[in-house]
């Protein structure tokens, strides 16, 4: 399985999904014009990873400065794929990085955790 990578733009985050290391990273700002078009390849990659994920570890680091409502729904779909991967036998870890006083982002991570029943490690970005 190949590594999937998208470089950061002013409207889309940096994304890297590496099957060899089991590491995922989403970092930046998520306000794409067409969020489905942006997030569908990520969900497709996760679906392929799920097929070979048993007894593996998948760690996702999410460090978003901002995301809009449409991105929020797409992120929820990504996290639902993580739940499915966990159910297939993989260990899943999600690190939700935020700035110390960004209450909205901290709350968003907690909301996703509550919705999915998947633990989110809320971590503070060191400046």
Q: What is the pLDDT of residue 16?
A: 98
Q: What is the reported pTM?
A: 0.93
Q: Are 36 and 72 in contact (CB under 8 A)?
A: no
Total domains present in the chain: 1
The tokens for 6 are 């998208």
Please give the mean pLDDT across all residues of the chain: 94
- Per-residue pLDDT, averaged over 111-116, amounts to 95
Interval 1-15: pLDDT, tens: 899 999 999 999 999
Cα–Cα dist 115/58, whole Å:
20
Local confidence band at 93 (pLDDT 50, 70, 90 cut-offs)? very high
CATH number for the domain that contains residue 47? 3.30.750.24
Reference 93, options 104, 101, 85; nearest CA is: 85
What integer is the mean pLDDT of 82-87? 94
CB atoms within 10 A of CB 3: 12
pLDDT at 51: 87
How many alpha carbons fall within 13 Å on the CB side of residue 65?
11
Q: What range does the domain containing 85 cover? A: 4-124
């Amino acid at each position: 399985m190949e590594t999937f990578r998208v470089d950061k733009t002013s409207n889309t985050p940096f994304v890297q999904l590496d099957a060899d290391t089991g590491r995922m990273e989403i970092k930046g700002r998520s306000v794409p014009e067409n969020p489905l078009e942006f997030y569908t390849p990520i969900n497709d990659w996760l679906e392929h990873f799920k097929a070979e994920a048993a007894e593996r570890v998948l760690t996702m680091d999410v460090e978003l400065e901002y995301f809009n409502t449409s991105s929020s729904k797409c992120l929820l779909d990504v996290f639902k794929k993580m739940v499915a991967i966990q159910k297939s036998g993989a260990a899943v870890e999600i690190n939700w990085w935020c700035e110390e006083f960004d209450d909205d982002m901290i709350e968003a991570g907690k909301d996703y955790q509550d919705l999915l029943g998947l633990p989110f490690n809320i971590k503070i970005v060191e400046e």
